[in-house]
Chain A
Amino acid sequence: MTAPAIVASVDRTRLPASRPRGDRWGPLVEGYFRAHAWIVYLFLYLPIFVVILFAFNSATVATADWEGFSFRWFGIALDDDVVQTTLANSFIIAIPNAILATAFGTMAALGLQRVGKRVRGAFDVLTYMSVIVPEIVIALATLVMFATSFDTLNKWFGIKLSLGYPTVIAAHVLFNLSLVLLLVRARLSGMDRTFVEASADLFATPWRTFVQITFPQLLPAIVAGFLLSFTFSFDDYVITTFVSGPGSSTLPLFIFGQVKRGVTPETNAVATMMLAVTMALLLVGQLVLTWQSRRAGRRSAVTMVEIVTER
């Protein structure tokens, strides 16, 4: 603000006539931006509020008017056998998926620093491909591959391979692997190499340098990658619906089935609990990052938001 003021004090007399007119419209334009922002935020949050609100409705039909505040649909949802099974399945799939994707993604990001241009280029192409090819195409292609290869293997060896937890986890890991890889690589490229060099100069072994220097600096990206992977898997419908077997159906699949038959207050209660889980994770992630950055003695904490929008 100060620099233009100096210019203005010199040139004010010679300013073109259009300037004051622009200023006259200024408050109006600013007002428009403000109103636009409010409406967009309302648009973004309205659906979430509606679902949460109607989870607490005591009415027996979801589309009925507000009949009073009640927790009873949460009780009903938690007593529901199908909800219990699918919820358990969601965790059985999301946790191993997040662990594998984070480990493999981080390892690959570290490994790719040490390989030649060609290997790195091949990885870039593959990562792009997992982004450019629509999710539904990969899901169906994966299903066809599993079905064909299981048929063949079962015929040859007389075994009974079928769709289940492993197939869902394997398919989820593919997507999350790319995500973790991108996050950790972004962090690596922004890292201050002098610390690593200083550590080597001070006769630290490569392993010790990794544990004491590289890993703490990568931790925010790794934590974010883990939580994003968990949430992706926990919320995913498209891939899961095609590569899951009869016993490995997850909570989103249950919700989709309910939605097709007609939303009930129970649907909203289940959805609200799912929202609570993912929100809690976002919070945990933020707490871990704050704690880590305080321990590392950095001035400003890295936020989950910064990590996610960094891409």
Chain B
Amino acid sequence: MATVAPGQTAQSRPKRRRGPGLLTAILVLPAALWYALLLVAPLVIVFIFSFGIRAKNGGYAPAFVLDNYARAVQKSEPFILSLEMAIFGTIGCLLVALPLAYFIATRARRRKGLLILLLVIPFWTSFLIRTYAWLLILGPDLGLAGLLQGLTGADKIQILGTPIAVMIGLIYGYLPLMIFPLYVTLERMDRTLVEASKDLGAGRWATFRQVTLPVALPGLVTGSILVFIPMMGEYVIPQILGYGRTYLMGNALVTDFLEARNWPQGSARAVFLIVVMIVTIAGYVWFVNRGRTTRDVSVL
């Protein structure tokens, strides 16, 4: 048996691997075409446009100037606000997600499945609907603002239209993206490590810091990145819950492109955002991996 099997696979393997090149090309072609035309081409166009000037009626006129980048850096308030919101939002998600992921990972098998299903259901439903629902929950009529007004006797408590409402929306909207990877790493964790740590006299906190946290780190990094990226470019939540007053990067981009119709300015802002994001994420992954012998934290 053992002598026949390798011989057989050796015979059949090369035939499979080489395969008809035409078939491979046909299989990969549609996806390659889509990536080229709808991902690479738009990004290349935006990169080229970022050096141009605004045409008289709006749009793009060919030129080579760096003014757009200078302005994108000078008027960087939306970017800085986005960065602040995304960082606090990520920390918020982490604080909410970590105990929950740990709780689910330590349940019995059946219970785990149910709890995860209960997480997938809201994640599966429309983001827009889940966001606008907070208008009702935080609102002055029936919601939290009304309740607080009644309790404190204050004249007017405004939650909607403030950064707080946007922050609640951000954490709510992206929480599952933090919970899933954390849960996956904690679920795979060797439970005997915790037992060992306790047997060796470590307290609850020391065990958490020295055993659980390092094990959960890859999930923590993946979750943070998955949450941070969409928060940086968020457009719907500040529009709905912030009444457009919390002016984030997404809103600035839409204003540049559609209202001011200054495509080069918007393009420069977009390129700036992409570059900063790539540098931030790469830096973060490097920071977490430093001092580790194996690179077990990757981007995804």
Q: Looking at B31, B132, B253, B270, which has the most chain A CB atoms within 10 Å of its CB? A: B31
CB distance from A231 to the nearest CB of B (A): 6
CB distance from B239 to the nearest CB of A (A): 8
Chain A proximity mask over B133-175: 1 for CB below 8 Å, otherwise 0: 1111101011000000000000000000000000000001001
Q: Is A219 an interface residue (CB 8 A)?
A: no
Q: Is A144 an interface residue (CB 8 A)?
A: yes
Q: Is B291 an interface residue (CB 8 A)?
A: no
A3: which B residues are within 8 A, CB to CB? Answer: 192, 195
Q: Is A211 an interface residue (CB 8 A)?
A: no
Q: Is A221 an interface residue (CB 8 A)?
A: no
Contact A274 B129 (CB under 8 A): yes
Q: A126-B39, A132-B229, A271-B129 are in contact. Are A108 and B266 (CB under 8 A)?
A: no
- Chain B interface residue count, CB cutoff 8 Å, equals 98
Contact A136 B141 (CB under 8 A): no
- Chain A interface residue count, CB cutoff 8 Å, equals 99
Contact A201 B8 (CB under 8 A): yes
Contact A36 B126 (CB under 8 A): no
Chain A proximity mask over B176-201: 1 for CB below 8 Å, otherwise 0: 10001001100000001001001101
A15→B199 CA distance, assembly (Å): 7
When C-beta atoms are compared, the residue in chain A nearest to B140 turns out to be A63
Contact A50 B136 (CB under 8 A): yes
Within 8 A of B (CB), among A230-274: 231, 234-235, 237-238, 252, 255-256, 259-260, 263, 267, 271, 274
A43→B132 CA distance, assembly (Å): 14
Q: Looking at A103, A238, A255, which has the most chain B CB atoms within 10 Å of its CB? A: A238
Q: Is B118 an interface residue (CB 8 A)?
A: yes
A159: which B residues are within 8 A, CB to CB? Answer: none
Q: Looking at A11, A40, A47, A143, which has the most chain B CB atoms within 10 Å of its CB? A: A47
Within 8 A of B (CB), among A263-308: 263, 267, 271, 274-275, 278-279, 282, 303-305, 308
Task: List residues of A whose CB falls within 8 A of some B CB.
Answer: 3-4, 7-8, 11, 15-16, 18-19, 21-22, 25, 29, 32-34, 36-37, 40-41, 43-48, 50-51, 54, 62-65, 103-105, 107-108, 110-112, 114-115, 119, 123, 126, 128-138, 140-145, 147-148, 170-171, 173-174, 177, 181, 197, 200-201, 206, 231, 234-235, 237-238, 252, 255-256, 259-260, 263, 267, 271, 274-275, 278-279, 282, 303-305, 308-309, 311
Q: Give 11 A-B contacts (CB < 8 Å), ordered by A residue.
A: A4-B199, A37-B99, A51-B133, A103-B30, A104-B31, A114-B23, A133-B277, A140-B257, A140-B270, A197-B12, A206-B16
